[in-house]
Amino acid sequence: MSVSPAQQKAVNKYLSNTFDDIKLRVPKGKREEYKRIVSDLGYESFNSFMLQALDEKIARETRQE
């Protein structure tokens, strides 16, 4: 199914007003491996995995003892 230019413009506007982008660089060949592993673990997307991983790491690192 094709997306009209107006639909794409609306999606782009929504995304730009709702989310910030962060670029993640990985070693050559690791991208597909990471995506496969994350999928095998049952995550909906690599992005959802990364957000959860970041939140968990930050919570551990900033936890007051």
**What percent of the chain clears pLDDT 90, i.e. is strictly above it?**
91
The rounded distance, in Å, linking the Cα atoms of 51 and 47 is 6
The rounded distance, in Å, linking the Cα atoms of 7 and 35 is 28
1 confidence band (pLDDT: 50, 70, 90): confident
Cβ neighbours of residue 38 closer than 8 Å, sequence gap 6 or more: 45, 46, 49
With H, G, I as helix, E, B as strand and everything else as coil, classify residue 45.
coil
The whole-number average pLDDT for the span 1-22 is 92
Q: Which residue has the higher pLDDT, 65 or 48?
A: 48
What are the φ and ψ backbone dihedral angles of 47, each rounded to 5 degrees?
Answer: -60, -45
pLDDT at 63: 87
